Amino acid sequence: MSDTATAHVPVLIIGGGQAGLSVSWYLTREGIEHVVLERHHRFESWRNNRWDTFSLVTPNWQCRLPGWAYSGKDPHGFMLRHEIVEYLDGFAESFDAPLREGVDVTHVSRLDGGGYVIETTEGTMTADQVVIATGGYDNPIVPPYADNLDASIVQMHSRDYRRPSQLPAGGTLIVGTGQSGVQIMDDFHLEGRSVHLAVGPAPRSPRKYRGRDATDWLYDAGTYAVTIDRHPDPIKALTQTNHYMSGRDGGKEIDLRKYALEGVSLYGSVAGADGTSMAFLPDLEKNIDDADRSYLGIRKQIDAWISSQGIDAPEEPAFEKVWRPERETTSVDLREAGITSIIWAIGFRPDYSWLKVDCLDERGKPLFNRGVTDVPGLYFIGLGWLNTWGSGRFLGIDEDSRYLTEQIVARQKGKLAA
């Protein structure tokens, strides 16, 4: 990309994932000149940062990128990792995106006369408008006390996990019960490995309920169309971990109580570590009770929709707590418990250290309204709850990118008219 140095482009998109390329699709259709910079390869996180048995948690029919809706034979199934990459590559090849790979953006700041200066690993460029589509998965979170653990305990973040055989023989402790944590736990469990799980406050969801996938019911009920400004509890929506369930083997529910009956050792949230000792909070029962409360709340929501629409749907048996902890374990000697490895599945933090523009709050999170910041010509795309639940997911990217493109085009045409 030697022509990047001192070059100017009307619109620059930073990030060559599905969000950035969705904006590119609309800009291409509108005839707006732009460039997409991707520091790795397009769809890098899907291609290289997922485990072998990874599958979508939402059904395939929700994959609705611009001009490229899922058209396979299993709309109610859940694509595996290689199928997701094939779907995304097909989207990228469906139009002539001005994508430049292997170019890292190291600095973005405003120009005094308007527009932006962008420093990259291949030179400096300027742009009238900038779209940030880098997502929120830059820095894997590992707690500081992980450094206190004995060197004999193998540690890994979920981003680097591929298969159970990567880890040494013996027990594995998985920390975190978001979607990654419970699915990795299931990976080990299905292989007959000794697995331990530190259960956090993540909520859970039904998978199939009253004859359909729960997400199908919720979509019909309009749940996914609720915008963040109309959400009854926007703070909770913005901060809550995603509900856990699985798309594996055609989709299945994750009830941690059943896994406990099948031999998975459950603990509360991790409180600290030193040497071979791991401390846990006495919140295991509370956390699984809270997860079940969320699960039952979704069932109740679906029941209400079915009743209001007069839909003839099969009934489900009443929920039953098949297991509860007899006591709360607050300390475990990993060596004595036979635990030889730990997988940290507690999420990521975005990295905006390169963004020298006043558009972040005191916690370093972007400030915007539907992705449009108060800074003229600066936008975000591909983040959770940009506008709806589907933002940041395949379901909502088309709508979000179309809206942003409307703002970009209006501003660009206004600039040209002036």
Per-residue pLDDT of the chain (418 residues; tens, 9 = 90+): 344 446 999 999 999 999 999 999 999 999 999 999 999 999 999 999 999 999 999 999 999 999 999 999 999 999 999 999 999 999 999 999 999 999 999 999 999 989 999 999 999 999 999 999 999 889 999 999 999 999 999 999 999 999 999 999 999 999 999 999 999 999 999 999 999 999 999 999 999 999 999 999 999 999 999 999 999 999 888 888 899 999 999 999 999 999 999 999 999 999 999 999 999 999 999 999 999 999 999 999 999 999 999 999 999 999 999 999 999 999 999 999 999 999 999 999 999 999 999 999 999 999 999 999 999 999 999 999 999 999 989 999 999 999 999 999 999 888 665 4
Count CB neighbours of 234 within 10 A: 13
Q: Determine phi and psi for 367, rounding to 5 degrees.
A: -105, 125
The answer on 331 and 260 residing in a single domain is yes
Distance of alpha carbon 95 from alpha carbon 328, whole angstroms: 56
The answer on 150 and 71 residing in a single domain is no
The answer on 281 and 190 residing in a single domain is yes
The answer on 85 and 14 residing in a single domain is yes
Residue type, 357: V
The answer on 115 and 166 residing in a single domain is no
The answer on 403 and 323 residing in a single domain is no
**In 3D, which of 121, 154, 128, 117 has the Cα closest to residue 37?**
121
The answer on 96 and 20 residing in a single domain is yes
Distance of alpha carbon 14 from alpha carbon 36, whole angstroms: 6
Torsion angle defined by CA atoms of residues 202, 203, 208 and 210, in that order, rounded to the nearest 10 degrees: 170
CATH number at residue 102: 3.50.50.60
Using CA atoms, how far residue 94 sits from 87, 98, 123, 227, 321, in Å, is 11, 13, 29, 30, 49
Which of 328, 344, 360 marks a domain boundary?
344
Which of 280, 314, 344 marks a domain boundary?
344
The answer on 308 and 320 residing in a single domain is yes
The answer on 197 and 252 residing in a single domain is yes
Mapped onto helix, strand or coil, the DSSP state of residue 121 is coil
Which of 310, 344, 378 marks a domain boundary?
344
The answer on 406 and 300 residing in a single domain is no
The answer on 289 and 147 residing in a single domain is yes
The answer on 173 and 95 residing in a single domain is no
Mapped onto helix, strand or coil, the DSSP state of residue 108 is strand
Q: How many distinct structural domains can be found in the chain?
A: 2
Structural domain containing residue 180 = 140-344
